Amino acid sequence: MKLWIPRALFGCLLAAALWAAALAGQRGAATRQGSDQEPPAGAQGEIRLPNGKSQRDEILKAERQQNIKDAAQLVEMAQQLQQDLEKNDRYVLSISTLKKTDEIEKLVRKIRARLRHD
């Protein structure tokens, strides 16, 4: 019986060592595969456009301009919604007013997605 305990302990240690080696091999393979990917933003290998500007900066600038346009459109749509709500009776709500609220919500989601970079 005393022989089984050391053998069982040896077997567990061997299994743990093999598992750790396999895990380390997987991590090493993932690291090697990751080396083919593009470097993170701000690194030396940043993508440049033919005019020499950073692609990331140009994308951010375009998104900012689009956010400004969408925010102006959002203000206009909100004012139209307010006017529609003031026109309608308190018990009656038109379908077009409900559609405007849906359009406002879609526009807000677009702006939010660009701000979060989803």
Looking at the fold, whether 27 and 62 belong to one and the same domain comes out as no
Query: Could you report the per-residue pLDDT of 37-96, keeping only the tens digit for each?
Result: 554 544 566 899 898 889 999 999 999 999 999 999 999 999 999 999 888 888 888 899
d(CA 97, CA 95): 5
Q: How many domains, in total, are found in the chain?
A: 2
d(CA 85, CA 77): 12
Looking at the fold, whether 111 and 74 belong to one and the same domain comes out as yes
Looking at the fold, whether 23 and 67 belong to one and the same domain comes out as no
Assess if residue 65 is contained within a domain.
Answer: yes
Assess if residue 49 is contained within a domain.
Answer: no
15, 54, 60, 117, 118 from 57: Cα distances, Å: 51, 5, 5, 13, 17
Looking at the fold, whether 76 and 114 belong to one and the same domain comes out as yes
The pTM of the full predicted model, rounded to 2 decimals, is 0.56
Q: Residue 20 above 60 pLDDT?
A: no
Assess if residue 1 is contained within a domain.
Answer: yes
- Which residue, 71, 46, 70, is CA-closest to 57? 46
The residue segments making up the domain with residue 28 are 1-32
